């Protein structure tokens, strides 16, 4: 695999994996940027937060087909918004 520095807006196909916390507070630039580009991500995040509590969400991965060529996989892998540590 080749590593490249590219912006999120350049990714047109494949899978983007990003992590969020389980407390309903979006605290990463990456996820915020993706939500700006694909508002349905924010809507789905809020819908998932309505269904589960924070402890039950920890470890869940949400698949979001933003179009026929691009998937955004959202990993609920941080429990406390005070910490910017990813477990994946």
> For the segment 17-67, what is each residue's pLDDT rounded down to a tens digit?
988 888 766 667 788 888 889 999 888 888 887 766 777 888 889 999 999
75, two tokens: 């990993």
Q: What is the CATH number of domain 14-78?
A: 3.40.220.10
**pTM given for the model:** 0.76
R_g over Cα of the chain: 13
Strand order in the sheet with 14-21: 14-21, 70-78, 61-67
pLDDT at 86 > cutoff 50: no
80, two tokens: 């406390």
Spell out the domain ranges in the chain: 14-78
């Amino acid at each position: 695999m080749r590593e490249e520095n590219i912006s999120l807006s350049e990714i047109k196909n494949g899978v983007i994996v990003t992590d969020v916390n389980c407390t309903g507070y979006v605290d990463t630039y990456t996820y915020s940027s993706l939500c700006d580009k694909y508002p349905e991500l924010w809507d789905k995040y809020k819908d998932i937060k309505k269904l589960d509590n924070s402890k039950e969400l920890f470890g869940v991965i949400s698949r979001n087909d933003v179009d026929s060529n691009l998937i955004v996989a959202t990993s609920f892998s941080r429990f406390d918004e005070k910490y910017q540590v990813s477990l994946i």
